[in-house]
Amino acid sequence: SGPSLRTYTSSDIAGVEIGGTLKNVYALGAGLCDGLKLGDNAKAAFLTRALQEMMRVGQALGGKSETFLGLSGVGDLMATAHGSWSRNRALGEAIARNAQQALAELASRRDAVEGHRATETVSRLAKSRNVDAPILFCLHKILFEGLDARAGVTALMTRDLKSER
């Protein structure tokens, strides 16, 4: 803790670690929203649904749902998804503009963009546990299967309607 941030303790080590990984994945998605110029409301809706998905994935991997509602979950997600310094958000924005170029440049970078590889790993783990994670799986398709970012957004937006949970 310090003059501009108060920290808290947690006994949920798995949840804190998983949240720290997942926020990078979903911050990359927030960058796609920025790069596609979807607007603040769309980005807020994306992050709201991403948080719900983080909780489902996190619980399936051994975290407690309440951990994702704290600083190490939603707090870190918001900072990383909105920060001008965020490498994950910036990569998502670059992919929205030109995926082929952005992914080629990623291969030659010396600094880490954790959300890229985390998407691959967490997607595999979520599938193996039958977790409902459409955003995560869509991001995987964009990053590793060549799905166009705008087509990915369309696929998510045209899913069957259901009650918000």
The residues assigned a catalytic role are 23
Tokens for 118? 């985390």
Phi-psi region of 37 (alpha: psi -120 to 50; beta: other; left: phi over 0): left
The residues, any chain, with a CB within 8 Å of residue 133's CB and separated by 6 or more, are 53, 56, 57, 123, 126
The b/e string for 115-140 (b: 16+ C-beta within 10 A; e otherwise) is bbebbeebbebbeeeebebebbbbbb
CA distances (Å), 28 to each of 66, 80, 163, in order? 23, 9, 26
State CA 153 to chain mean position distance: 14
